A and B are shown apart, each in its own frame.
Chain A
Amino acid sequence: MTFDVLISALWVVLQPQVLIVVLLASVYGLFIGAIPGLSATMATALLIPLTFYMDPVPAIAAIVATTAMAITAGDIPGALLRIPGTPASAAYVEEAYALNMKGKAQLAMGLGIVFSAAGGLFGALVLLVSAPLLARASLNFSSFEFFWLALLGLLTSALVSTNAPARGLFSLCLGLLISTVGLDVTSGQPRFTFGVIDLYGGVSFIPTMIGMFAFAELLRGLSSAASVPPVPAKESVFSNSFAGVWGAFRRYPWSFLRGSTLGSSIGALPGVGGDLAAWIAYGMSRRFSKTPEKFGTGHEEGLIEASSSNNAGLSSAWVPALVFGIPGDAVTAIAIGVLFMKGLNPGPKLFVENPTMLTAVILTFALANLFLIPIGFLAIKGARYVLAVPRGLIVPTILVFCVVGSFAINNTVFDIAIMLVAGLVAYLMEANRFPIAPVILGLVLGPVLERNFIMSMQIADGNLLGFFSRPVAAGLGILVCAIIVIPILRSLATRLRRPLS
């Protein structure tokens, strides 16, 4: 990429039309993301009809800005109501909520917004500078590596989210089981559909997430078990929306760098996407922390690392999407469709044929993340009003959005039923100390895991040692085995030591 191309691309991005689109898309993303249960993917999907009327750069800018803002705004209900806006923010929702319960809601949201923006800028830089290198490395990956990566993410979520591994593992298995419902992609055989036509396409992810995280949470809130977060005083909490953020950065600079680097690396892997990054980042932060016991009690360290990785992964998920046309996640899959509609086929040729346009698309990531700070500031200010609204008004309002949000995915009331069942199941699970987040991750990554598992089994002809036949796969495999074996050995060692003491 030459300097001239960069300047031309910058000129394209700074056009008033693009700036206005980014601003409006950010506000829209904020609106959708801040409403519990409405996800960034849904916001993006619903935006697509509008992008028909736009040029390629503003169209992609709108998608990028909406996604970045919706994901970041998803941290707000996460911190205030313990309802994550996205699967990625589910990784650290407990931590953010615990900070809120300590009366530090502003710090939780401020950390989320600033480190999301900083991580997003980091990811944009990675995308701009080293996209071809990262994509080339991930291109060499086979189903073995993808299988291990998916399993690593799933196990991390199951083990990080609870102190009871059996419960975490069961939640994960439930998510994997739900992901198998519907027609099997490879064989076309129906699985667990019980003759219900609406299930042939599988269990919709977004209604399930709305049910498990929003509806169940609201039910829990109606019982005596709910602890209502303290409503902080305006002066003490919302006087400076970003107070304490700089101090947190100075205390944990490595968390930011590690999270951003990890997010960029994982997000760039085709088919993996950015969601996994936040889970692994949170798990890694806990592992490397000097104070792991503080995790889950409202500790800033994990929040910084996961927030940074979240948006860094979001940007770098576009590396394989733009360079090779392989989507990293649902949002990039939608965006690739938009590029095709505009007559632009993502791939290496596009870098040669239209480098200015492609560079401009990449620069919109930086722009969208820069917009996060002022709009995020307004979001935090607005969040105060959410806390001030009587609970009797806000709970039914959220329930109405749960219903309409579930309906809007496939325009069918069947998805409302999925939301209801998922909500009731999640309520019972949580009451019995089963973590919910692994269910969602199992549901999202289940197809990735299964596809790569079956493919790897066929390649290795059923020989499990084949999963370790490639160097990177062997490294990842050993890491996964260590994650499984080390806690078991620790538990055994503790039991053996106990009688002696």
Chain B
Amino acid sequence: MTFDERILGLALVLFGIAVAWQSQAIPSVPGATFGPSLMPTIVGLLMAGCGLSIFIGGVRAADGGPLVDISVWRGHRRGLACAVWAVAGVLVGILFMPVLSFPLFGVSYALPLMLLMRARPLPAVIVSLVVVLVAYFAFKRLLYVPLPSGPLTFLG
């Protein structure tokens, strides 16, 4: 997904100004000349400057193209479906992994994606199970990472 340089530049100018503006709200330390707002203010102004440069470049090179170009996904419905699943699945993981357990989340996330990506069913089932269980035991048992086990208490 690409944006027209003018739209992009303008958005970045606004973002930079917003950062510099918000930085002014950071409380300063009494007696300190250079407080915690100095660096973010400079960064925000630099961002706005970069945005302005991109905007000016866009105005000079305006060729009447679309303001937002999504042609990269057009005609690739399966790829788009995979991308949506990849993003939505992580969102589901953020919300439900602590309850669902990592192994259940991992398999229900990886297996449909593998099938969507045209992997053969049997290898997909085997690989998704092996990968998730290896990741679970390697991190939980060897590296002491407390991955959620949810209802799968027998896994330890």
For chain A, the count of residues having a C-beta within 8 Å of the partner chain is 56
Q: Does A396 lie within 8 Å of B110, measured CB to CB? A: yes
Q: Does B135 lie within 8 Å of A401, measured CB to CB? A: yes
Cross-chain contact of B113 among A176, A390, A395 (Cβ < 8 A) = A395
Query: A174: CB under 8 A from chain B?
Result: yes
Chain B nearest CB, measured from A300 CB (Å):
32
Contacts of A219 in B (CB 8 A): 83, 86-87
Alpha-carbon distance between A187 and B33 when the two chains are bound, in angstroms: 12
Query: A131: CB under 8 A from chain B?
Result: no
Which residue on chain A has the smallest CB distance to residue B3?
A: A432
Contacts A222-B82, A223-B79, A400-B132 known; A180 to B144 CB distance under 8 Å? Answer: no
Which residue on chain B has the smallest CB distance to residue A458?
A: B34
Q: Does B47 lie within 8 Å of A173, measured CB to CB? A: yes
Contacts of B61 in A (CB 8 A): none
Q: Does B72 lie within 8 Å of A223, measured CB to CB? A: yes
Q: Does A191 lie within 8 Å of B47, measured CB to CB? A: no
Query: B155: CB under 8 A from chain A?
Result: no
Range, interface on chain B:
35 or more
Q: Does B51 lie within 8 Å of A408, measured CB to CB? A: no
Contacts A411-B146, A431-B1 known; A399 to B50 CB distance under 8 Å? Answer: no
Contacts of B33 in A (CB 8 A): 457-458, 461-462
Chain A nearest CB, measured from B76 CB (Å):
5
Chain A nearest CB, measured from B21 CB (Å):
12
Query: A424: CB under 8 A from chain B?
Result: yes
Q: Does B3 lie within 8 Å of A170, measured CB to CB? A: no
Contacts of A396 in B (CB 8 A): 109-111, 113-114, 117, 128
Query: A500: CB under 8 A from chain B?
Result: no
Contacts A191-B36, A404-B139, A413-B94 known; A393 to B119 CB distance under 8 Å? Answer: yes
Contact with A along B5-19 (1 / 0, CB 8 A): 000100010001001
Q: Does B39 lie within 8 Å of A453, measured CB to CB? A: yes
Cross-chain contact of A393 among B19, B47, B123 (Cβ < 8 A) = B123
CB-contacts of A270-294 with B (<8 A): none
Q: Does B50 lie within 8 Å of A177, measured CB to CB? A: no
Contacts A416-B94, A458-B33 known; A192 to B114 CB distance under 8 Å? Answer: no
CB-contacts of B81-106 with A (<8 A): 82-83, 86-87, 89-91, 93-94, 97-98, 102, 106
Q: Does A189 lie within 8 Å of B87, measured CB to CB? A: no
Query: A344: CB under 8 A from chain B?
Result: no
Top 8 A-B pairs, shortest CB-CB distance: A392-B119, A392-B117, A184-B36, A170-B50, A166-B53, A396-B110, A396-B113, A187-B29
A392-B117, A432-B2 given; name 17 further pairs at CB < 8 Å: A169-B50, A173-B16, A177-B43, A187-B32, A189-B26, A191-B37, A192-B40, A395-B117, A396-B111, A396-B117, A403-B93, A407-B102, A408-B143, A408-B145, A413-B97, A416-B90, A462-B33
